[in-house]
Structures are given as C-alpha cells and as structure tokens.
Chain A
C-alpha cells in the first residue's frame, strides 16, 4: 500500500493527470448536465401532456365507442433515469405513440431526427465520452509507465533495487487505476447521484421500477472496468516498447483500431452476417395481407359466415351486434398478423443486438456499449417492451369499445352512443420498465465479453512482466 501511495503521489504531481482530469471532468459535466436539462424538460412536458390526454379521453362527448376508439390517445415512453448518462437506443427510437383503432402505429419522433447533422460526431453523451475519450486518457496516462523509465535508464535502477517486476507492475497499475477512479469514477458518480436524487426530488416522472441506484453502481463499475482495460493495454505496450515514442505510437494505434475502426467494421460485419428484413418490407407485407381482408367482397363473406354461424338470415335476428362482432373478429385477425410480422421483426432486431454484444470480442467499446445501455435501461429490449406495452394498451381499448358495440345490438338503424362511464373504464396508460433481473440477464453476454478482454490482458501481463527487461 505504501508503494502504491508513493506511485499515486507521483502521478498526482504529474501535469498530464491534471490536464487529462480537467478535460475529462469538463466534458463529462457538459454532456451530463446538458442531457439532464433535456431529460427534465422532456419529463415535464410528458407529464403535462399525459395529464391533458387523459382529461381529453375522459372528457369526450357521448359518441359511438368506435369513434372514441378512433379518437385514441397519445402515450409516451418514460425515460430511464440513467438515460442522462447513456441514452442508448433512445435517440434512435421513437418515444411517442398514438394508440387508435385498427392501426399499430410506429413510435415516432426520434431525437436523432431533430438533432442537427453535426450532432452525430461521436461525443453526444456521457457514455460516448467514456467509450471514446476515456481509453485515450488511460493510454496517455499509462503509455510511459515503463517505456519512459527504460529510456531514461531508471527502470534498470528500480529493478536493481530488488523490486520484483510483478510487484512494480501491480503497484503502478493500482496507482494509475486509482487516478482513473478519481478523474472518471467520481464525476460519473456525481452526475449519476445528481440525476437519481434530482428525479426523486422533482418527482416529474415515476421512478419506481427503475431501481436507479443498483443500476448506477453497476454502470459505473462497468465504465471503470473499461477504463482499466485500456490502462492495461497502455502498460502492456509500455512493458515491451523500447522508447516512450514507440509505446505511445503503438498504444494510439491500438486505440484507433479498437475504438474507431473495429466498431464500424463490426457494424458492417453484423449487417452482412445477420441480414435483417427491412421495416419497410414488413409494413408492405402486412398491407398486402390486409388488403384482400378489407375488400367489400371479403366483408360480405364474413358477415354471411356470421349469420350462418348463428343460424339466422338477417342481422336483426342476431343476439349480438353484427358490426361489433365483425370489428372484434377483424381486430383479432389484425392482432394475429401484427404479432406474427412485428413479433418476428422485433425478434430479428433483438437477435442482431445480441450478436452485437458478441461482436464485443472485436472491440471492448462494442461490449461496453451493449453492457452500458442494458444497465442504464436504454437498450432496444426496453424500447420493444414499451412498443408492445403501448400495443397491448391499444388492444385493450379496442377490445373494450368493440365488445360494448357487440354486446349492445342496436336495431332500426340507430347507432350506439356511449358516455363517460365507458371512457372511465379505460385505465391510464402505465408502463413498468423491464425488471433489473432481466437487464442483468441481458447484460451477461457483454459483461462476459468485457471480462474476457480483461482476463486476456491480465493473462498477457504475466509472461511480459516476467520477461521485463530494463
């Protein structure tokens, strides 16, 4: 511990650490506070419009239940508290859905659509900064750990004093890790605490179910593990490099390879190896299948079939409302179609996301991205969960409105009119996030991949440290 303290004291006096720390804290603070401000604004707007929508739904005039179903309601995706740190898939997926009769509407208005064209440069969020800049910081801190001493000749002195190479390596690694915790871990913890406490205090969105604190701690641990991984890379290179220049050049080349090139190569590779049906094709297939179902002839056939089923020849003789029953059965047909097509589509994307987690074997940045967004509750699984929750809500409204029409047959050309009692039967939309246990299960693969990277690097350390030459 004493030696670690001494090494840490040396690093703390290093102007490099101060500069790197200052830049990192500044970047993290700007990105974190900017995201927090946006999240507070979005949350407040969502709360206000959700209340207004509920009031509009309940305050509808008396009308036919099917008209109320068409009037519909907008529902909004609640954001995870940790979206401030890692927005994950949220900017790329819609967060607002209009639920209405017949239609499985898309979640619309993706933040990335509204963002300017320059906003996708790469440092848009705290998670982006950790993914891209923190490895650079770790490299700049660690590249000279042994190479500079070797170049100066002081490594020979240190080893000559009887310090075991393994101990020297461990002490320096521990000291540098402590320095990284100081300049990365503490700012992340600060922003995370601010977000979690701020949300609880403001109460602008229900935080129940997110389990923000365990998520935050696990998330920070993942980021620190990632930083430590690149510190190990830099120190390993430093163990072998003849000069600090060589060490820096090699470490920077590795950074470029792992953080810049490999992630994009992985994108191309995954898209090639795991081809996905385009959303446009899925929509086209659904339209094509619905078209013959919607024709007047098909409608006529179905109504005749219902009359035959009940053994009557006229709709007025039915114990139920023909139009209502046809709407129920029509929706059942649509639901089955949506379940099949969108179910397969969303499963396909989820499968791709899982492959991306394994693609972390190409680059720890990919593994961290998958792990980080899963722990933050902003991954695609959470989005798909919201989409299907909204769809389930839509179906519950349609089913209630249709059964009201079906079970109250009208005769003599009159139209059923319902009022506030029926509207009030529809509960407000409630979205509960996926449980933490599910997130942890989904995080298993990227966490394993990140652990493999760390284990691999530690495994490399052993022979290299043993063969350390002054």
Chain B
C-alpha cells in the first residue's frame, strides 16, 4: 500500500466512525456535559466576583462610617466613647472598624476548574484579633455532601469523562473486529496492520480532538463565564494543546490495548482499569506521597503554643514587662516613660508581637509545609496525565493550592504592612496625645482612612503558563510513547 493511499483509508475510517450512531450519542453527551459544566463554572466565578465586590463594598462602607463618626464626634457631646467604639482613634479604627481584605481575584480562565476554591476561600478579612492561631481560618461552610462528591466543572468533564468517551469511541476498534473474525478479511488485504490501525485510531483521534476542543470552546462561549482575555491567550493556547495531547494519549492507549490482541472484553476492561488507575488510584497514591514528603505540622501543637504564650503574658507582671521591652525597641529612649507600659493600646500591640514571636516557628513551619506540598504536588502531578492536566487547569483558573499558599503568604505580608502603617500612629498618640476639641467625646487622632494600604494581589499568569507548558510537554511525551509502543506491537497481524 503506498503512502498516498493512507489519506483515503483515513477518510474511509472517518466516514465509518461518523456514520455510527454510538459516535453521535457519545459526542452529543460530551458536548452537553461540557456546556453544563461551563454553566456551573460561570456560576461559581460569578459567586467569587460577588464575594470580591462585597469585600470592596465593606471596605468602602468602613471608611464611610469612620469619616461620618469623625464628623459626629468632632463636636462637643455628652456621651462616653470607649476606645473600642472610636474609629477616630488609630488603634480603635485598626482593631475594631477597619475592613481590610486580602483577595484572590478569579483569573480570566477561572471557569475551567473549581480546584480548591470550595475549601480555600478567595477572600480573607485581615484583622488584629487573637481568636485564631493561623491566618488560613477563612471558611465558607457549605454542604459537606456536595464537597465530598465534588463539583461538576469543566475540569471534571475534561479529565474524567473525556477519556471515558474516548474509550467508548475507540476502545474496541480492531479488537471487536478481531473477535468477530473480520480482522482476517482485513489482514487478507494488501495493507499492513500499522496502516489499518493508524487510520482507525487517527480517525478516532480527529473526531475526539475536534469534539473536545470544539465542544469546550462552544461551552465557554455559551456560558459567558470567560473573563477579559488580555494577556492570557498564550495560556489558553497552551492549555488547548495540552488538552489535545491528553485526548491523543487516550486514543493511543486504546490503540495499545487493541495491539495486545486480547479481544474486546480484555481491551475494554484493561482500558477502564487503566482509566481508574490514572484518574483515581494514582492521584490518591500521589496525594499520600505528598503527605509523606511534606508532613503536616500539628495544628493542635500550635494552638497549645499560642495558649502557653497567652497564659504567660497574663501571669503576674509579665504583661507590663513584655510591653516595656517592646516599647524599648520601638521608641527612642528620650520619649520612653514608665507609664506607657500600662497604656491598654500599647499593651495590646506588645501582646500581639509577643504572640507572633511565640508562634513564629509554627507559622514558618505551616507556610513552609504549604509551599512544599504545592511544590511536590506540582512535580508529582506530572506522573499521571490526569493530575498533570488537572493541575494545569487549576493553575490557569487560579484555584490551585500553590496559588493559595502564595496568597496566604501575601496576606500575612499585607497584615504586616497594615501593622507598620498603624503602629507609628498609635505610638505617637500614646507618647504625644493629639489635642482634642473641648468637650468632644472621641480621640480624633486619626483621619488617614484613605491612606490605609490596600491589598495588591499577585499575578497568577506566569505560574499558569509554566504549568500549562510543563503539562503539554509531559502529555505530548506520554502520547508519543504510547503511540510508539502501539506501533511497535502492531508490526504484524495476530496469528
């Protein structure tokens, strides 16, 4: 058979595959699933944007309220304003009124994967209380049943259902012909097994790639959930290529299963088991490996350490001593006065610093573990095509654990920047109290509400590009490897 006849063979196989009712049933079900998944994704992204908008509105409301209070308390009045009721005081505003948020905005491709977004909220209020020990306590309590079962998102359809659709489409090609005896007739023709198999599986690959990429694009357009694409087209192109490689990988797996000549039952059972291993069992094993490689530090030990620090601080005269020591690092000697150690606001600042110091090791360990777990996950995910693509989609969506670990670190830095903004003002007020109008009930020492630093989220695009490229390389290599293995085995017709 000359090379020129291969396109004709391919065209014939394409016609055959497209004439099968099963093909159309599979394709319709796949596209419907993609559209439904995109719709749920658009809903999720809209909810995330609503949460972000609510955070912004709350921050603005806090500033508005504080400014109104400044005006109200700037006039003589016969009421008593305690420090926890006074937004005109730097300490009062920072601790009880300010609504500062660290946020993780959805990326333009956020519709693709829910990722960890259902357990790691994208909005966290930065406060200066001490009810919690760590910074990752923001929580969005929801139905545990839904969380256990998982969302019906595009990542689920692309990673879990697309391979099943491919197995249904191409899993018994050649092997069913082997079972029914038609293969002997094909073998009697002047064509080698590689060309026949090549045409059959290339046709299946063409149909599957077109349906998957086309269906995904259609679903994304119909859902209207894509954000502003500016600067993200390269990421989208890499993801599309990775997705195509994933589809080809599964078609090649079908070819390899057929090349074992174990019959349709064997091919089908083998493929489904391979699918179960690659999409369920191997990711679970990799998850266990990540747990071993980056052991989780004990939360309870951190709680215990925080309580020990708290108990120490309140024992005897320790609070005064700690506050005096803290003041000695913050104020020049000539302005230090012994009574400053008894000022409640300064005691509170010193206490927070004391707690931070007591928990520093635990915080460091927790952050290091989160970063190490995400780094190991990124590396190990490449072992399984399913986890590799999952991570690429999640990273592009900005819903991956790695971005969240970075986000938490940024939130901590933001908290520090807020502390650096307020501390000098609180100290200055304690050392040299601002004069207050006669009869005014509040302290009126702070009105720089608009100058409070805002959180600047980091760009997630570089990480998304890197992960998509790595995934494309790995999936491309895996697809080529399986194709080569299948081609090697298909050198001869079965006996």
- The answer to whether A116 and B147 have CB atoms under 8 Å apart is no
Flag A381-396 by CB within 8 Å of B: 1 or 0 each.
Answer: 0010000000000000
A112 within 8 A of B: yes
B189 within 8 A of A: no
- The answer to whether B131 and A369 have CB atoms under 8 Å apart is no
- A124-B284, A383-B144 known; A249 vs B268 contact (CB < 8 Å): yes
Q: Which secondary structure dominates where chain B touches chain A?
A: helix
A356 within 8 A of B: yes
Partner of A356, one of B54, B145, B290: B145
- The answer to whether B152 and A300 have CB atoms under 8 Å apart is no
- The answer to whether B149 and A267 have CB atoms under 8 Å apart is yes
Complex Cα–Cα for A268 and B39 (A): 10
B140-160 CB contacts (< 8 Å) to partner A = 140-152, 156, 160
With a cutoff of 8 Å between Cβ atoms, the chain A residues found around residue B445 in the complex are: none
Within the complex, what minimum Cβ distance (angstroms) separates B170 from chain A? 13
- A108-B132, A108-B137, A295-B85 known; A244 vs B314 contact (CB < 8 Å): no
Within the complex, what minimum Cβ distance (angstroms) separates B288 from chain A? 8
- The answer to whether B151 and A122 have CB atoms under 8 Å apart is no
Considering the complex, give the chain B residue whose CB is closest to the CB of A298.
Answer: B85
With a cutoff of 8 Å between Cβ atoms, the chain A residues found around residue B314 in the complex are: 60-61, 63, 67, 71
Complex Cα–Cα for A299 and B308 (A): 34
Flag A252-290 by CB within 8 Å of B: 1 or 0 each.
Answer: 110010001101111110110000101111001000000
A interface, how many residues as a size bin?
35 or more
Complex Cα–Cα for A94 and B269 (A): 41
Within the complex, what minimum Cβ distance (angstroms) separates A52 from chain B? 6
- The answer to whether A276 and B144 have CB atoms under 8 Å apart is no
Flag B292-319 by CB within 8 Å of A: 1 or 0 each.
Answer: 0010101111011001101100111000
Considering the complex, give the chain B residue whose CB is closest to the CB of A370.
Answer: B145
- A89-B144, A115-B291 known; A45 vs B119 contact (CB < 8 Å): no
Within the complex, what minimum Cβ distance (angstroms) separates A96 from chain B? 7
Partner of B79, one of A63, A118, A252, A296: A296
A100 within 8 A of B: yes
Considering the complex, give the chain A residue whose CB is closest to the CB of B145.
Answer: A356
B139 within 8 A of A: yes
Complex Cα–Cα for A106 and B148 (A): 20
With a cutoff of 8 Å between Cβ atoms, the chain B residues found around residue A279 in the complex are: 139-142
With a cutoff of 8 Å between Cβ atoms, the chain B residues found around residue A45 in the complex are: 298, 300-301
B361 within 8 A of A: no
Interface residue stretch chosen among B8-16, B369-377, B482-490: B369-377
A209-252 CB contacts (< 8 Å) to partner B = 243-245, 248-249, 252
With a cutoff of 8 Å between Cβ atoms, the chain B residues found around residue A243 in the complex are: 265
Within the complex, what minimum Cβ distance (angstroms) separates A449 from chain B? 13
Interface residue stretch chosen among B194-202, B275-283, B320-328: B275-283
Within the complex, what minimum Cβ distance (angstroms) separates B300 from chain A? 4
Flag B235-275 by CB within 8 Å of A: 1 or 0 each.
Answer: 00000000000000000000000000001110011001000
- The answer to whether B132 and A122 have CB atoms under 8 Å apart is no
- The answer to whether A116 and B300 have CB atoms under 8 Å apart is no
- The answer to whether A117 and B284 have CB atoms under 8 Å apart is no
- The answer to whether B144 and A92 have CB atoms under 8 Å apart is yes
- The answer to whether A96 and B144 have CB atoms under 8 Å apart is no
- The answer to whether A96 and B299 have CB atoms under 8 Å apart is yes
Partner of B161, one of A261, A278, A299: A261
Flag A338-354 by CB within 8 Å of B: 1 or 0 each.
Answer: 00000001000100110
- The answer to whether B304 and A52 have CB atoms under 8 Å apart is yes
A123 within 8 A of B: yes
- The answer to whether B142 and A113 have CB atoms under 8 Å apart is no
Complex Cα–Cα for A116 and B286 (A): 9
Considering the complex, give the chain B residue whose CB is closest to the CB of A118.
Answer: B287
- A45-B301, A248-B269 known; A121 vs B287 contact (CB < 8 Å): yes
With a cutoff of 8 Å between Cβ atoms, the chain B residues found around residue A361 in the complex are: none
B329 within 8 A of A: no
A205 within 8 A of B: no
B119-137 CB contacts (< 8 Å) to partner A = 119-121, 123, 131-132, 134, 136-137
- A132-B280, A263-B149, A280-B51 known; A88 vs B303 contact (CB < 8 Å): no
Complex Cα–Cα for A220 and B79 (A): 66
Given contacts A122-B283, A133-B276, 16 further A-B contacts (CB under 8 A): A42-B300, A61-B315, A110-B139, A112-B147, A116-B377, A117-B290, A118-B387, A245-B263, A249-B264, A268-B36, A278-B140, A284-B58, A294-B85, A296-B81, A296-B86, A380-B143
**Cβ contacts A to B, 8 pairs, < 8 Å:** A92-B119, A105-B131, A109-B134, A114-B299, A116-B290, A118-B284, A120-B287, A253-B168
